[in-house]
Amino acid sequence: MSHKLFLLPGDGIGPEIMNEVKAIINWMNANMDVTFECDEGLVGGSAYDACGEAISEEDMAKALAADAVMFGAVGGPKWADVPYDKRPEAGLLRLRKDLGLFANLRPALCYPALADSSSLKKELVEGLDILIVRELTGGVYFGEPKEVVTLEDGQQRAVDTQVYTTSEIERITRVAFDLAKTRSNRVSSAEKHNVMKSGVLWKQIVTKIGSEEYPDTPLEHVLADNCAMQLVRRPKQYDVIVCDNLFGDILSDVAAMLTGSLGMLPSASLGAPDAVTGKRKAMYEPVHGSAPDISGTGSANPIATIASFAMALRYSFEMVKEADMVEKAIANVLEKGLRTRDIAKEGDTTVTTTQMGAAIIAELEAL
């Protein structure tokens, strides 16, 4: 079985953490009954430096042709002043939009070995396992008009537009319910129907899909502001949270931070199944950013990116056993006390990015 992966390491620590994914891919190619063919491109500031765009047309075409894209991270102070439509994030947003990756899955998982490093009291996060299902190609991220105009009196007026249609809400709702069924079978839908018309439509459609198609999955509606609060107060009350693009951005960051495992969390962005082949476009990326401040120091934690590759195995390649193995290998190195700097406590000795990657491969060998 051969699979085409397109790697977009990006900026900052992106290339360093992607190297460790490549090492795992090489190990799998050598040791398992599978072949991953990897090609690599540029995205973000490094693409801008090379071709004046946040991603080239050629690399966009490769991303579209691949079975899955592995994305590192983009951005950094170096590109603070590039034109808006060429800023590093524009590459990421274009990939999401043009690949049709409407479903962003963000697990917030508290690794037992790290429960201590949460800001929250240990009992509140121990065993935490939330999945945020964020709509990723609609809402205020892409709605038009989106502009700054100068008015007659010299004032400027900025506009962003949040748009959602029935079908956009329906499909993300189904993703959330389908995933809930593989987990604790509870869905919480977060919006602001008390203030936003998109929230009114959101609540209405989620309610309809839930009662008509998933009558056996309990559904709860929660205002997004209250949801952010409840995540801090009692996070374990949640299983799957489904929400729009902007609320998902914020709620998933809060949820990620709660776990104490921020540098460890992966994400998957999935498209709709192709009408003919049934295959979904997909991109996998760590939740953390490009961390320009530590780039080049060898201290970046590759686990989030490796865990993102495990999500690729699970969601793009139906390699559930192998995905479980990678996740188990990660849990094992943590149990054994290996720590990159971001997850080390005072007094811990730390390992480098490559040492962490190598240790995970050693665990894979031993499994």
Ligand X SMILES: CC(C)[C@H](C(=O)O)[C@@H](O)C(=O)O
Binding site residues, ligand X, CB under 6 A: 89, 92, 194-195, 225, 249
At residue 316, the 3 state secondary structure works out as coil
Active-site residue, 253 included: yes
Give which of ligand X, a second copy, none residue 120 binds (C-beta under 5 to 8 Å, depending on kind). Answer: a second copy
Q: Who contacts 336 (Cβ-Cβ below 8 Å, separation ≥6)?
A: 359
Q: Residue 321 CB, nearest distance to a second copy (Å)?
A: 34
Active site residue 141: yes
d(CA 5, CA 327): 20
Number of residues this chain uses to bind a second copy (CB under 8 A): 56
Contact between 297 and a second copy per CB under 8 A: no
| Binds a second copy by CB under 8 A, chosen from 1, 61, 65, 159 | 159
Q: Which is nearer to a second copy, 32 or 200 (CB)?
A: 200
Give which of 207, 247, 212 is closest to 227, Cα–Cα.
247
Amino acid (one-letter) located at 297: T
- The smaller minimum CB distance to ligand X, of residues 27 and 142, is found at 142
Going by DSSP bridges, is the β-strand pair 187-191/143-150 parallel, antiparallel, or unpaired? unpaired
Judge if the upstream peptide bond of residue 9 is cis by omega within 30 degrees of 0: no
When the beta carbons of 19 and 137 are compared against a second copy, the nearer one is: 137
Q: Look up 236 and say whether it is catalytic.
A: no
Q: Are 364 and 306 in contact (CB under 8 A)?
A: no
Distance CA 238, CA 124 (A): 12
Using only C-alpha atoms, the chain has a radius of gyration, in whole angstroms, of 20
Residue 77 marked as a ligand binder: yes
Choice from 143, 218, 292, 298 touching a second copy (CB under 8 A): 143
Say if residue 259 carries a ligand binding annotation.
no
CB of residue 317 to a second copy, shortest distance in Å: 30
Question: What's the rounded Cα separation, in Å, for the pair 112 and 227?
Answer: 24
Q: At what angle do helices 224-233 and 245-258 cross, to 10 degrees?
A: 10
If contact means CB under 5 to 8 A according to the sort of partner, which of a second copy, ligand X, none does residue 232 touch? a second copy
Q: State yes or no: 274 annotated in a binding site.
A: no
Cα separation, 273 vs 144, in Å, equals 27
Give how far the C-alpha of residue 242 lies from the chain's centroid of Cα atoms, to the nearest Å: 14
254, two tokens = 């809060």
What's phi and psi for 162, nearest 5 deg?
A: -95, 120
- The residue whose two tokens read 């776990």 is 259
Dihedral angle, C-alpha 82, 83, 86, 87, nearest 10 °: 50
Q: Pick one of a second copy, ligand X, none as the site partner of residue 367 (Cβ within 5 to 8 A by kind).
A: none
Q: Cβ 229 to a second copy, closest distance in Å?
A: 4
Backbone angles phi, psi at 325, to 5 degrees: -60, -45
Nearest distance, CB of residue 161 and a second copy, angstroms: 6
Kindly state whether residue 165 participates in binding a second copy, applying the rule CB under 8 A. yes
Annotated catalytic residue, options 11, 67, 244, 249: 249
163 binds, among a second copy, ligand X, none (CB under 5 to 8 A by kind): a second copy
39 is catalytic: no
Q: Is position 254 an interface residue for a second copy (rule: CB under 8 A)?
A: yes
Contact set with a second copy (CB under 8 A): 75, 84, 87, 89, 93, 119-121, 124, 140-141, 143, 146-148, 151, 155-167, 192, 194-198, 200-202, 224-226, 228-229, 232-234, 246-247, 249-250, 253-254, 256-258, 262
Q: Which residues are annotated as a binding site for substrate?
A: 96, 106, 134, 225
Q: Annotated catalytic sites, by residue?
A: 141, 192, 225, 249, 253
